[in-house]
């Protein structure tokens, strides 16, 4: 029997990349998994199996989030785990702060920050009613380094850390755990990577190799399961020892 037998999990941005890998892993542990994405969610879910189903949703839009959460509850009757993975990143061009268009700034904040807030806002009443829940927010190592040319993205991920801690304080009385898992640069399927720079990046880690999607799966499963029932408000840095965060 899996660690998440008879539970329901939601993974936002779950149709591709890390989100899809998280959804598949949660399903293998026995959970019914709802993949929420702006596109391809049903196709992604069908590739995982009957334990998974897809819903088209825009996490930056409250009506869309409310409808998706209601659809999950109609289908499964419960929500135990929420993985806030959806984010705008790969399509962002490098730009100096003076060159970032305000509309693009707002879009990044809408998806990367408002999205997790809205998901928690609409999911957490059902967790409170049951007196239990797990919320995993996906951060980024860029928030520690403060890398240039990506101010909108870095700012959004830094805010995720603060939001996680505030949520953990507010929700702990109902046995709801809220944590951040923070990856480094992950080589995902279909992602264009400069092989020479990736060699340099790997050598800068304590563990001298590229980071791949599976490197995050164990941490997300741990934070989703009863094994982490006394851990909340924490930042778990999973990047092969690129950063030491204390």
Q: Beta strand 176-183 with 133-138: parallel, antiparallel or unpaired? A: parallel
Residues 6+ apart with CB under 8 A from 74: none
Calculated CA dihedral for residues 54, 111, 26, 177, nearest 10 degrees: -130
pTM for the predicted model, two decimal places? 0.94
On the question of pLDDT at 170 being above 80, the answer is yes
Please report the pLDDT score of residue 190 as a whole number: 63
What is the rounded CA–CA span in Å between residue 203 and residue 116? 33
Residues 6+ apart with CB under 8 A from 246: none
The helix/strand/coil state of 47 is helix
Spatial contact of 36 and 66, defined as CB atoms under 8 Å apart = no
- Beta sheet of 133-138, edge-to-edge order: 52-56, 32-37, 8-12, 81-84, 133-138, 176-183, 235-238
What is the rounded CA–CA span in Å between residue 86 and residue 13? 4
In tens, the pLDDT along 83-107 reads 999 999 878 989 999 999 999 999 9
Which CATH superfamily groups domain 8-238? NAD(P)-binding Rossmann-like Domain (3.40.50.720)
In tens, the pLDDT along 185-224 reads 888 776 667 788 788 878 888 788 888 899 999 999 999 9
What is the rounded CA–CA span in Å between residue 243 and residue 226? 27
Query: Among the options 132, 144, 153, 242, which is catalytic?
Result: 153
Q: Is 132 among the residues known to form the active site? A: no
The backbone torsions φ and ψ at residue 119, rounded to the nearest 5 degrees and listed phi first, read -60, -45
Spatial contact of 79 and 7, defined as CB atoms under 8 Å apart = no
Spatial contact of 70 and 10, defined as CB atoms under 8 Å apart = no
Domain boundaries of the chain, sorted by first residue: 8-238
Percent of the chain, pLDDT > 90?
Answer: 81
Number of other residues whose CB lies within 10 A of the CB of residue 114: 18
Q: Where are the alpha helices (DSSP H) in 131-231?
A: 142-145, 151-171, 195-203, 214-224
Please report the pLDDT score of residue 192 as a whole number: 67
Please report the pLDDT score of residue 200 as a whole number: 84
Please report the pLDDT score of residue 148 as a whole number: 94
């Amino acid at each position: 029997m899996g660690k998440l037998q008879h539970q329901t999990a939601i993974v936002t941005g779950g149709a591709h990349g890390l989100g899809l890998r998280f959804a598949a892993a949660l399903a293998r542990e026995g959970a019914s998994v709802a993949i929420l994405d702006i596109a391809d969610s049903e196709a992604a879910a069908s590739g995982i199996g009957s334990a998974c189903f897809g819903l088209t949703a825009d996490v930056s839009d409250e009506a869309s989030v409310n409808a998706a959460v209601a659809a999950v509850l109609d289908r499964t009757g419960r929500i135990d785990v929420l993985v806030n993975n959806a984010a705008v990143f790969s399509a962002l061009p490098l730009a100096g702060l003076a060159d970032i268009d305000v509309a693009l700034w707002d879009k990044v904040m809408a998806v990367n920050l408002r999205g997790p807030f809205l998901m928690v806002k609409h999911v957490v009443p059902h967790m409170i009613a049951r007196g239990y829940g797990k919320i995993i927010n996906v951060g980024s190592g860029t928030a520690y380094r403060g890398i240039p040319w990506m101010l909108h993205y870095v700012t959004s991920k830094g805010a995720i850390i603060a939001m996680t801690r505030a949520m953990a304080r507010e929700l702990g009385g109902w046995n709801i755990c809220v944590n951040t898992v923070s990856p480094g640069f992950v080589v995902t399927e279909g992602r264009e990577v400069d092989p020479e720079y990736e060699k340099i990046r790997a050598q800068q880690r304590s563990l001298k190799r590229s980071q791949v999607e599976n490197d995050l799966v164990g941490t997300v499963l741990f934070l989703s399961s009863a094994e982490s029932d006394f851990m909340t408000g924490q930042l778990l840095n999973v990047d092969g020892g690129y950063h030491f965060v204390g």
